[in-house]
Structure 1
């Protein structure tokens, strides 16, 4: 019996180690897409310039400032920036070994970690050079500490709750929404069920507002700007599928009477409310929500699954753990194939033989982010402009009518575009475009043309 107990105690650590290695195994490639190239370009600026640029974008500054510090210590490269995201993934898993294992039990810890590993796109975001993975960690920690605070009444949980919420809010707008919903739930619960905690939660609100006050005006300006100029054009079908899946899982868990308790109801409200608000705004006001934004509550979803399976039979738990393990393995295989897609590497190996540092590149879409990163010494000309493009120091933004004056007949010129983007008429009318190559990057395919004057 003692040996069985020791094996059971070791199992969460084994799962943690394996899932961490899954994520680490995905960093050894140089593939990146536009948003990641934006991150890599942005952190080359000094701290004040980063904040200045982000004020014109839709991102709070914490992730980018933290990443810059990390790169100042360990170096600026794609691999290092991926490592920073992997650390966020490992931190999310570690919640299962620490606070979840301590305050709940081994089984909850195991199912939580396996669910984190099994959710589609989880490993994908673990190596993205974006804020999502650290958002997942801080939002999950915020939820756990809020739950422990209203259950245990201990002030240190409230303090950690506020700190984690602030860190979430300074990482992403939808992380801010997530912790706002968590705060609202805690507030309503305390007013209705436990007014002894009212003083503590009021102080928490004051601390949260005070801590976030430096970014409130930029947030309002960003929201105003996004209301008229956000890139999304309609409702993303995947966001509806994810929302429907969340409702189905929630309904299955609530179908068992023993599951109609505070932790599960709290988790369901936290998960679905983010999606309901995002979809409501997108459908009735302005497209502003896509499926990846709900990843901020991925850790809470993992806890929901863990809480929801707590009262089922041991055999059923074993089956669920086996299924989650198989899904985790499937996720690392699929993500590995995706991350190690050789298309970009093969393209650059071919393209390096026909281009030189004196060549000029023209763009009419976000293809400039990728090419300007890989060919920093070349001339890069983009025919449209957003204020946050100032992150890219080596890209010129000019009116399409002035392109002729920028190109000499002796120049070697390339036009690169996403295959989903139409070739602009000003190029068709004034230049001969010859398709020379294509490459795939993330979920996009890009076409490369040679450009010659007619």
Structure 2
């Protein structure tokens, strides 16, 4: 049974590599498929300081735009290149799956994880969209990995890496900051349940204070963004929508119309 799990894991891992290769050549990697991509594309083709000034008036943190500007010497007008930047997190997750998850668990866990990250919900399309979601997904997964390391080992390395990836998540997309905040809440619960409360609580406070200090330069901008967009109308969630929220990461649409990996044919058909 163990050998079968190992073989299945390797097959799924190989399938994930094929998905990665296809991401580099698929037709939808050559066109803008989402209206927000036009915003990102236009912003990063502005001069750096002008682009970052525009980003301040956006509703998102700046890290994704900074990552894209790193590729400016290669030509930001190349849509395919910008989409490859969004594919890079999937490549990094494949490496994490091979070197970290495989070693901590087994081939089956590593293969199943990275295959699902490629095909579940709208993930496949998001990895080909010039937005911050694929990078945010990478950072929040890394934060989760070291959240577990912290609760298992309580060592300095794990705390540093959890703090780092939580910070990068917050600078990429605010929703990922909420996710990391929930992880810290769970860490606090674990600390209060432990027998070594004082030293672990000290580690926790150092991490939280570090996050607040390192994120404080953007806090003024965040307040400005909230004030600027405070008139935006938000839809109040209905009880009937809760089921859709729960299954979203398994199916790509509330109408349950199919897997995200298959639905890219709707975009190129």
TM-score normalised according to structure 2 size: 0.84
> How far 1:101 sits from its partner (Å)?
1.4
User: Offset of 1:14 from its aligned partner?
Assistant: 1.7
CA distance in 2, matches of 1:52, 1:115: 37
Structure-1 separation of matches of 2:108 and 2:124: 22
- CA distance change for structure 1 residues 236 and 29 in 2, over 3 Å: closer, same or farther? farther
Pairing 1:242–2:244 present: yes
Q: 1:5 to 1:30 in 2, by over 3 A?
A: closer
Q: Which residue of 2 aligns with 1:180?
A: 181
Q: Give the 3-state SS of the residue equivalent to 2:230 in structure 1.
A: helix
Kindly tell me: are residues 191 and 124 of structure 1, through their superposed partners in 2, closer, same or farther at Cα, counting changes over 3 Å?
same
Question: Quick one: structure 1 residues 241 and 47, their matched pair in 2 at CA, closer, same or farther if it must change by over 3 Å?
Answer: farther
Aligned pairs for 1:288-303 (under 5 A) are: none
Q: Which runs of 4+ in 1 moved over 4 A?
A: 3-13, 232-239
What's the secondary structure of 1:227's corresponding residue? coil
Does the aligned pair in 1 maintain the 2:63–2:172 contact within 8 Å? yes
99 and 239 in structure 1: CA distance in 2 versus 1, 3 angstrom threshold:
farther
In structure 2, relative to structure 1, the CA distance for the partners of 1:198 and 1:60 (3 Å cut) is: same
Residue 220 of structure 1: which of 219, 223, 237 is its match? 223
Query: Is residue 39 of structure 2 the alignment partner of residue 111 of structure 1?
Result: no
Would the aligned equivalents of 2:10 and 2:107 in 1 still touch at CA under 8 Å? no
Secondary structure of the residue aligned to 1:120 is coil
Partner of residue 131, structure 1: 132
Change (3 A) 1:198 1:85: same
Residues 29, 340 of structure 1: 8 Å contact kept: no
> Could you say if the C-alpha distance between residues 237 and 6 of structure 1 is closer, same or farther in structure 2, counting changes exceeding 3 Å?
closer
Cα 1:219–1:332 change in 2 (3 A) is same
Match for residue 435 of structure 1? Answer: none
State the secondary structure of the residue aligned to 1:228: coil
- What is the rounded CA distance, in whole Å, between the counterparts of 1:122 and 1:7 in structure 2? 25
**Structure 2 gaps, min length 5:** none
Which has the larger strand fraction? 1
Higher relative contact order by CA 8 Å / sep ≥ 6: 1 or 2?
2
Which sections of structure 1, spanning at least 5 residues, go unmatched? 250-290, 293-326, 342-454
Partner of 1:333: 262
Looking at CA atoms only, which structure, 1 or 2, has the larger radius of gyration?
Answer: 1
Matched, 1:150 2:78: no
Helix, strand or coil for the counterpart of 2:103? helix
8 Å Cα contact 1:50-1:65 kept in structure 2: no
Q: Give 1:98 shift.
A: 2.3
Higher percent of residues as helix: 2
Deviation digits for residues 56-90 of structure 1 (CA, Å, limit 9, x no counterpart): 22110000111121233354221111111011222
* Partners of 1:236 and 1:125 in 2: CA distance: 26
Deviations 1:19-44 (A, max 9, x none): 31243343543233321010011012
CA contact (8 A) 1:12 1:97 kept: no
Q: Give the C-alpha shift of residue 143 in structure 1.
A: 0.8
Q: Kindly report the root-mean-square deviation, in angstroms, between the aligned alpha carbons of the 2 structures.
A: 3.0
Range with greater deviation from structure 2 (209-218 or 106-115) = 106-115
**Which residue in 2 is equivalent to 1:168?**
169
Deviation digits for residues 362-415 of structure 1 (CA, Å, limit 9, x no counterpart): xxxxxxxxxxxxxxxxxxxxxxxxxxxxxxxxxxxxxxxxxxxxxxxxxxxxxx
Partner in structure 2 of residue 229 of structure 1? 232
Give the distance between the partners of 2:5 and 2:60, measured in 1 at CA. 47
